[in-house]
Structure 1
Amino acid sequence: MYKVSEFSYLTGLSKETLRYYAEVELLEPAYINPENNYRYYDDGSYLLAMLLNKLRGFGLTIQEMKTVMNDESFANLERLLVEKKRNIEYQIEELQLKIEDINEFIESGRESEE
């Protein structure tokens, strides 16, 4: 069992994030000492924390992560990740167009100076 500070260090999740995840029932402590309310996490919690960390890095919202954790279906996780990937690709295309617009604008300014 890991104390919150140890678990935070191991997972890279802040103590505040761990509290929030417990509050929204995304990652609850494996054990809460009834005498002092200290929270403890176990190895199973570690695996869930690493998965949540990865999903958050992919840009999933808290609600999407809760859906994934409650569903436990890889097919639905895959569908959600493919959708996220499509959205990222669309954003990249949009940013590429903005870069091209900026380059054209700069170039037209240079041409008018000549």
Structure 2
Amino acid sequence: MFKISEFSKLSQVPAKTLRFYDQIDLLKPAYTDQQSGYRYYKSEQLLDLHRILAFKDLGFTLEQIKQLLNDNVSTAEIRGMLRLKQAELHSLIQSEMERLRRIEVRLEQIERKSDSLSHCEVVVKKVEPLMVATLKETTSRANIPGLFEEIDEYLKWNGIPLPVPHIVMWHGCPECESSIDLEIACPIPRKLQDTARFRTMELPELTVAAVTHISRPDMDTPVSIDLGSWIEENGYQISPEMPSREIYLSPQEGNKLWYVTESQMPILRAGFMQ
């Protein structure tokens, strides 16, 4: 048998860690001297220790590892725990990739500050009724480009020539990250056959405060600050019943991720709702 110092050197795991594993019943010494308290380990315990380190490397907690090392845990149960961890890591990677994209967009927005289109001017205008094909989804903003592609395929299948502007209508919770209630809409010249996924509808006439700027559909934009300030300063109120809209008119030349965009906020004269 090996003293804890020898087992530590052999396994390259600190003695402090081995003592902790003993305390939580994760890896008990083969023998503990009751008088001196010295811990002794057998060489075959290296296999258990390596399994612990392997599961730890995969991201399992020590409590989960104890369960995985239990003799009563079946191969099917271990497989299930590994698949759950796999799904958890996929979700984490996706979340961090979206965070990385947001950082990249912020950097690009900083670089674009001198762009003439970045100086936002708010205008009030009437939006006429418009027939559109729509696709409603509860999702994250990062998935909007994919929804654009999906509705484009539906339009092509129905013989509608592309490209067409894409309208995003925000029905609720734009700050909910992965649970945003939104609707993608595209103008169409005629009524199309509804499906389980798509429907034809007419958007109503609206009075909106609108601002044109450069943005990406998969990232939020700070122009809502300009719209909010302008609405407050000019005696308007935001319509409580109509969703705000972003109209992605055309991709920027040389960079298809960025669009010339018109953000529209439905408004009423202050006091109109009383």
Query: Which structure: larger Rg?
Result: 2
Which residue identity lines up with residue 78 of structure 1 in the other structure? R
Relative to structure 1, is the Cα distance of residues 16 and 31 closer, same or farther in structure 2, using a 3 angstrom cutoff? same
Aligned-partner Cα distance in 2 for 1:21–1:74: 24
Q: Match of 1:77?
A: 78
Aligned residue type for 1:26? L
Q: After superposition, what is the alpha-carbon deviation per residue over 1:22-67, rounded to whole angstroms, capped at 9, x for unaligned? A: 1111100011123422111112211101100111111111110111
2:232 aligns with none
Cα RMSD (Å) of the superposition? 1.4
Instruction: Map 1:1-114 to 2 at 5 A.
Output: 1-70=1-70, 71-114=72-115
Secondary structure of the 1:59 match is coil
Write the letter of the residue equivalent to 2:29. P
Distance 2:11 2:80 in 1: 26
TM-score (structure 1 length as normaliser): 0.90
Higher helix share goes to which structure? 1
* Aligned mates of 1:77, 1:68 — CA distance in 2: 6
Write the letter of the residue equivalent to 1:51: R
Query: Which structure has greater strand proportion?
Result: 2
Instruction: Output the amino acid matched with 1:18.
Output: L
Question: 2:123: which partner in 1?
Answer: none
| Structure 1 SS opposite 2:45 | helix
Residue 43 of structure 1 aligns to a residue whose secondary structure is: coil
Q: In 2, are the aligned partners of 1:5 and 1:15 still within 8 Å (CA)?
A: yes
Asked whether the 8 Å contact 1:13–1:53 carries over to 2, the reply is no
Q: Whose relative contact order is higher, 1 or 2, with alpha carbons under 8 Å and at least 6 apart?
A: 1
| Paired residue type of 2:76 | A
Unaligned runs of 5+ in 1: none
How far apart in 2 are the matches of 1:104 and 1:25? 48
CA distance in 1, matches of 2:76, 2:16: 31
- CA drift of 1:6 comes to 1.3
TM-score by length of 2: 0.40
Instruction: Report how far residue 12 of structure 1 moved.
Output: 2.3
Structure-2 separation of matches of 1:73 and 1:20: 27
Q: Percent identity?
A: 28
Q: Which residues of structure 2 form unaligned runs of 5+?
A: 116-274
